Amino acid sequence: MKIRDRYAPSPTGLQHIGGVRTALFNYLFAQSQGGAFILRLEDTDRTRFDDAFVQNLYDTFTWLGFHWDEGPDRGGPVGPYIQSERFGLYQKHAQALVEKGLAYYCFCSPARLDALREEQAKTHAKETGYDRHCRNRSPAEGAARIAAGEAAVIRLKIPLGETTRFTDQLLGDIEWKNDAITPDPVLLKSDRFPTYHLANVVDDHLMGISHVLRAQEWLPSTPLHVIMYQLFGWDHPVFCHLPMVMGQDGKKLSKRHGSTSIDEFRGQGYLPEALINYVALLGASYEEGKDLYTLEELCSRFSLDKLSKAPAVFDYKKLAWYNGQYIRMKTDEALAALALPYGVNAGLFGELGTAPDAGQRAAFTAAMALIKERVSFLHEIPDKISYLFAEPLIPAAAEFIPKKLDLSQTIGLLGIGRDLVEPLAALSDTQAEAFIKERAEKEGVKLGDLMMPLRVALTGARVSPPLFGTIRILGAARSFARIDRALAVLQGYGSVTA
């Protein structure tokens, strides 16, 4: 059997983490089996449809770096891949069920249905929903009223008193009493638009979908879909309802837990590799003792028997860890290219939105080596290295003074540090460390005491990216200027003890 699965989003909102997880699992399964992964746009909800959401879908998966084999933008043998372009198919198949006596025209007005719902609520009726008022009308009467121009929907005749059974690849054997299914659901609306259930089943069959991998929230709809396959006389695909994605509080992941749309994750500086790696592990396992996977490795290792029945918990701290790992894997040049838009938007190179000149671009790239180990998100980078592009404020004198020393001693240490700047700017980290250690021993001072006031003078803070790399990027001339500025301020103070 040729494996064919699909991602079938409704373009009524931005792509979110749950939808991407479904798409990713379908992609990985198809790839692992040498099958085809299909994109189908289920755009029958025209009240919430927006072309911007379609574009967001394409942009999201371009950024994530995996794509479908067939779809609206790629074509394929079973198109069109947009439901609004397939309306004739749905009308044809709904009509076929009517002709076989397996569906029927319903002429109940919205007012009657509203009154029915109100009465059921008022009386706390055990059975709710449509009361099958038109179920037993003769086909001839229905056809005559339609021919006369009367509006009607087409409803499915749910076989009553029976039990629908199917096997879920993950959850095992499922039984569902037909009487518990929504009573005779609408297949085709009065405006001839299909409902989700009709379009979904017809499209999956005609597109040759062999496996349906979707979230467990769709499980209650599956008995209805199985019944529809049976009434059409078709074999249904293999169903696999994926474990839910929950927040730390055990409730379904939502905005209250944090970012959920992919645009939000992108804006915060997550890398696509980190999101894919982490999301692929939500409800699935691959190899004991291994955390980091390339997309190719995930494709080769994925299988349905590695899925978990239990809900997956979305851990933002764990995702941040993954993001930090992938940031550290980047070359300085690649990381600089990814982080540059954040620097521009932060006004790192002048006014907000100003692009760097050649010198600033070189300094920005060189700075990546200083902060790779210190950041988890791209958006953190500009703040970490802002001191390289604008003169930092000189902090209070106490910030310069090492523990157990005084202002006078600190000024002396900073003077020694000034003498070291030019040779340090020309040395590698290893050479610079040996050089400054030797000078500290010669002066009879602690290495940390020698470095602290120098660090504060150059960066404006006690905690900063590595000092030696900072001196190399600033260069001797800019370093001298900052040290002299700090010395002038410190010498203006009276005696202060740390």
Tell me the pLDDT of the chain averaged across its residues: 95
**Topology classification of domain 86-242:** Rossmann fold (3.40.50)
What is the mean pLDDT of the segment spanning 290-316?
95
Query: What pLDDT, on a 0 to 100 scale, did the predictor assign at position 122?
Result: 93
Could you confirm whether domain 397-491 is CATH 1.10.10.350?
yes
pLDDT at residue 254 greater than cutoff 90: no
The pTM score is: 0.91
Parts of the chain belonging to CATH 3.40.50.620 = 86-242
Query: What pLDDT, on a 0 to 100 scale, did the predictor assign at position 495?
Result: 46
Confidence of residue 498 (pLDDT cuts 50, 70, 90): very low
Report the C-alpha gap between 414 and 416 in whole angstroms. Answer: 5
pLDDT at residue 260 greater than cutoff 90: no
Q: Is the peptide bond before 402 cis (omega within 30 degrees of 0)?
A: no
Report the C-alpha gap between 135 and 98 in whole angstroms. Answer: 11
User: Cβ of 238: how many Cβ atoms within 10 Å?
Assistant: 18
Confidence of residue 494 (pLDDT cuts 50, 70, 90): low
* Structure confidence by residue, pLDDT tens digits, 450-474: 999 999 999 999 999 999 999 999 9
Amino acid at 470: T
Parts of the chain belonging to CATH 1.10.10.350 = 397-491
pLDDT at residue 330 greater than cutoff 90: yes
What is the mean pLDDT of the segment spanning 64-84?
97
Q: In sequence order, what DSSP letters do the residues of 345-384 get, joined into one string?
A: HTTTTSSTTPPP-HHHHHHHHHHHHHHGGG-SSGGGHHHH
pLDDT at residue 93 greater than cutoff 90: yes
Helix axes 407-425, 447-459, angle to 10 degrees: 80
* Structure confidence by residue, pLDDT tens digits, 19-33: 999 999 999 999 999
* Structure confidence by residue, pLDDT tens digits, 387-426: 999 999 999 999 999 999 999 999 999 999 999 999 999 9
Give the torsion sign (CA, 341, 345, 348, 350): positive
Parts of the chain belonging to CATH 1.10.8 = 330-385
* Structure confidence by residue, pLDDT tens digits, 188-228: 999 999 999 999 999 999 999 999 999 999 999 999 999 99
Report the C-alpha gap between 362 and 382 in whole angstroms. Answer: 15
- Tell me how many degrees the CA angle 213-3-76 measures, rounded to the nearest 5: 100
CA distances from 437 to 423, 426, 475 (A): 13, 16, 21
What is the mean pLDDT of the segment spanning 362-383?
97
Query: What pLDDT, on a 0 to 100 scale, did the predictor assign at position 289?
Result: 84
β-bridge pairing 211-215 and 238-242: parallel
What is the mean pLDDT of the segment spanning 173-191?
95
Contact 13, 260 (CB under 8 A): no
What is the mean pLDDT of the segment spanning 83-103?
96
Q: Which residues are catalytic?
A: 255
β-bridge pairing 153-156 and 186-188: antiparallel
Report the C-alpha gap between 283 and 28 in whole angstroms. Answer: 14
Confidence of residue 86 (pLDDT cuts 50, 70, 90): very high
What is the mean pLDDT of the segment spanning 266-294?
94
Contact 42, 196 (CB under 8 A): yes
| Residue bearing the bigger pLDDT, 249 or 482 | 482
Amino acid at 205: H
CA distances from 418 to 26, 302, 329, 357, 471 (A): 61, 58, 35, 28, 11
- Quick one: DSSP state of residue 497? B
Radius of gyration (Cα) for the chain, nearest Å? 33
β-bridge pairing 153-156 and 245-246: unpaired
Phi and psi for 38 in degrees, rounded to 5? -115, 140
Q: Is 467 left (phi over 0), alpha (psi -120 to 50) or beta?
A: alpha
Amino acid at 427: L
Contact 163, 178 (CB under 8 A): yes
Contact 259, 268 (CB under 8 A): yes
Name the least confident of 1-5, 124-128, 332-336: 124-128
Confidence of residue 497 (pLDDT cuts 50, 70, 90): very low
Closest CA to 454 of 407, 418, 496: 418
Q: In sequence order, what DSSP letters do the residues of 186-249 get, joined into one string?
A: EEE-TTSPBPHHHHHHHHHHHTT--EEEEEGGGGGGHHHHHHHHHHHT-PPPEEEEEPPEE-TT
Range 330-385: architecture per CATH: Orthogonal Bundle (1.10)
Contact 360, 349 (CB under 8 A): yes
What is the mean pLDDT of the segment spanning 56-67?
97
